[in-house]
Structure 1
Amino acid sequence: MYEIHFLIYEMLPIPLTRFLSLQIIFFEDRNFQGQCYECSSDCPDLSSFFSRCGSIRVEGGCWVLYERPNYVGYQYILSPGEYPDQQQWMSFNDNIKSCRSIKNVYGKSWKIKFYDEQDFEGQSAEWTEDCPSVSEAFKFSDFHSCVVTDGAWALYEQPNFKGQQYFLDRGEYHNYTDWGAPSPGVGSFRRITEF
């Protein structure tokens, strides 16, 4: 039995320890107090585990948290570290109702292409680095569609990586509503480099 497990482990292209290290801990109260819930996989509905979230400790992996069940609502992107209150993850309330780990984005390259019209029409611009100010770097600041060909990205509604966040991984986004935004305005964006 030991030999079979050893052979399976040797055939995996990504070290198994990467998957075993995914962990996030939700605490009901600020400063890691109150009841807690440990999570190591995607969860579409956290409401049966806790009613409010006052602090979070990310022990492994990067996570996207959502304000409502089924990965809907405001998004919060957290990398490993401690978040003693909601302000640390840029939230104004204690509603965290679903979460998922950021997966399948291993590598050392990032590439995203934005379009000023939906369905990949109009002016376009390709980017491979963080951008703290869209208005200074682009001829257009309304992104109606985009294609992520490499890596994972976080879009922010305000410059300097502030305001509402939106997580984008590899794929096509025909309209800004595909990434959960209520409008096409983007103030800044950055690569997600910690997994």
Structure 2
Amino acid sequence: LAARPQSGLVPPSLKVWAREGAFCPEVGCALPGSGPQKENWVAFEYPDFQGQQFILEKGDYPRWSAWSGSGGHHSDQLLSFRPVLCANHSDSRVTLFEGENFQGSKFELSDDYPSLPSMGWASKDVGSLKVSSGAWVAYQYPGYRGYQYVLERDRHSGEFRTYTEFGTQAHTGLLQSIRRVQH
């Protein structure tokens, strides 16, 4: 995947292989692995940023299970990619709300939570949320398992008014763990 530099900046990069040792110049191919990258990326199982989201942080992903994780949807293809915006741990903050449109009980976070219920979040669902700073990955189940939702301050102005805005695959507001995107 190549990006054009703007204003003399070095573009983010992502190297993709169709199979081990075979570089894939077209990102639209099925991926059993991807190589190291300089930035964090969100990969989607379908073109045009549709379907299940997968966070690709710095490192190697030799097989689909490395990006799919456990307890979630497994996809052996990634067909669209975009860089993660504003992954900065120095001041990451997100507020979860029980109801849609920022209504009901709220829970303010600035650290990783492998189990929201054990940390005091009484509901299994999150109706809406506000990302004040940083980038986060929320998961369906405790222990960072299940569907992944990449939530960034610079998308939707950080305001996700309903769970359907978490991603195209979000059919419920079930969120039980959340962590900051690594950088």
When the two structures are superposed, what TM-score results if normalisation uses the length of structure 2? Answer: 0.83
In structure 1, runs of 5+ residues without a counterpart are: 1-7, 10-15, 39-45
Match of 1:12 in 2: none
Identical aligned pairs, as a percentage?
28
How many residues are treated as equivalent by the alignment?
A: 166
CA contact under 8 A between 2:57 and 2:182: conserved in structure 1? no
CA deviation after TM superposition for structure 1 residue 106, in Å: 4.1
Q: Which has the higher strand share?
A: 1
In structure 2, runs of 5+ residues without a counterpart are: 1-6
Match of 1:109 in 2: 91
Secondary structure of the structure 2 residue equivalent to 1:141 = coil
| Offset from partner CA, 1:78-120 (integer Å, 9 cap, x none) | 1111111001111623221110011234461011001111011
Secondary structure of the structure 2 residue equivalent to 1:61 = coil
CA deviation after TM superposition for structure 1 residue 70, in Å: 1.2
Secondary structure of the structure 2 residue equivalent to 1:70 = coil
Point out the more displaced range, 157-166 or 84-93.
84-93
1: CA distance between counterparts of 2:56 and 2:65? 12
Runs of 4+, deviation exceeding 3 Å: 104-107
Match of 1:33 in 2: 21
2: CA distance between counterparts of 1:132 and 1:100? 25
Match status 1:148 vs 2:138: no
| Offset from partner CA, 1:36-77 (integer Å, 9 cap, x none) | 238xxxxxxx42xx2x11101132010000011111110100
When the two structures are superposed, what TM-score results if normalisation uses the length of structure 1? Answer: 0.79
Q: Which has the higher helix share?
A: 1
| Offset from partner CA, 1:105-158 (integer Å, 9 cap, x none) | 446101100111101111111111100001111122210100000100000111
Match of 1:188 in 2: 177
Q: Which gives a bigger RCO, structure 1 or 2 (Cα 8 Å, sep 6+)?
A: 2
